[in-house]
Amino acid sequence: MLTIRNLYARVGDKEILKGIDLEVKAGEVHAIMGPNGSGKSTLAAVLAGREDFEVTDGSVEYLGKNLLEMEPDERAREGIFLAFQYPVEIPGVSTINFMKTAVNQVRIHRGQEPLDAVSFLQLMKEKMKLVDIDQALLSRSLNEGFSGGEKKRNEIFQMAMLEPRLAILDETDSGLDIDALKIVANGVNKLRSKDNAIIVVTHYQRLLNYIVPDFVHVLYKGRIVKSGGKELALELESKGYDWIKSEAEVA
């Protein structure tokens, strides 16, 4: 589904990604871990199409297409979803209105009929249950005054509404207490299927107790320095990142 080859990206003069290689197939869950500043969030942002980052080398192929040539909204309509680490607050735009526009643009792109108000509301109610989110919250301005947990639940709610092929969760666990974390993870797990893939970007192993990955990759100084199964995450949890760092420096 996604093939990243030798990807380099920078912001200004600062090189952040220095040759990433990664292959993600349908049905898989990949965890990207690594210490702060290793480039995890940059990778997520580059995949979603954020223009602050300049790709200087390498390629990203998504469902047979050159992802790097697509506009961010085109990527989303093609099935890529980024759950933001810091969801943006947008006064005056309600989640409901915004989601209605988004869902229908995605549906039209997929050759489906846009939803009328009634079917939209029905779909929304069904997806709200997944993350235990209140309709009153969704009628309010997008993320404005939401708690950390509400913002993250809203991200997963949007993911459920848009039914992406490839979801990228950027530090979705940050700022969540254990109950909120369980709700969010539970929502994500219900969306797992053999047709879609998920990339979980996280600093801690904690989230991976609930969203169990097939592969774990460790990012350090802009490169993937180690890959393994879910047991690699546990190893990192008990030993910290230092041994990875020294291994990487030696190599």
Query: Residues 92-131 vs other proteins: string with x where CB under 8 A?
Result: xx---xxx-xx--xx--x----------------------
Q: Which of 71, 126, 134, 247 binds other proteins (CB under 8 A)?
A: 71
Using rule CB under 8 A, residue 76 touches other proteins: yes
Q: Which residue has the tokens 């989601």?
A: 99
Q: Residues touching other proteins: how many (CB under 8 A)?
A: 30
Give the nearest distance from C-beta 115 to other proteins in angstroms: 14
Using rule CB under 8 A, residue 77 touches other proteins: yes
Q: Which of residues 47-66 bind other proteins (CB under 8 A)?
A: 48-51
Using rule CB under 8 A, residue 40 touches other proteins: no
> How many CA atoms within 13 Å lie on the side-chain side of 45?
19
Instruction: Name which of 187, 84, 95 is nearest 137 in CA terms.
Output: 95
Using rule CB under 8 A, residue 240 touches other proteins: no
Q: Which of 19, 27, 35, 72 binds other proteins (CB under 8 A)?
A: 72
> Which residues lie near other proteins (CB under 8 A)?
48-51, 71-73, 75-77, 81-82, 84, 87-88, 90-93, 97-99, 101-102, 105-106, 109, 141, 158, 162
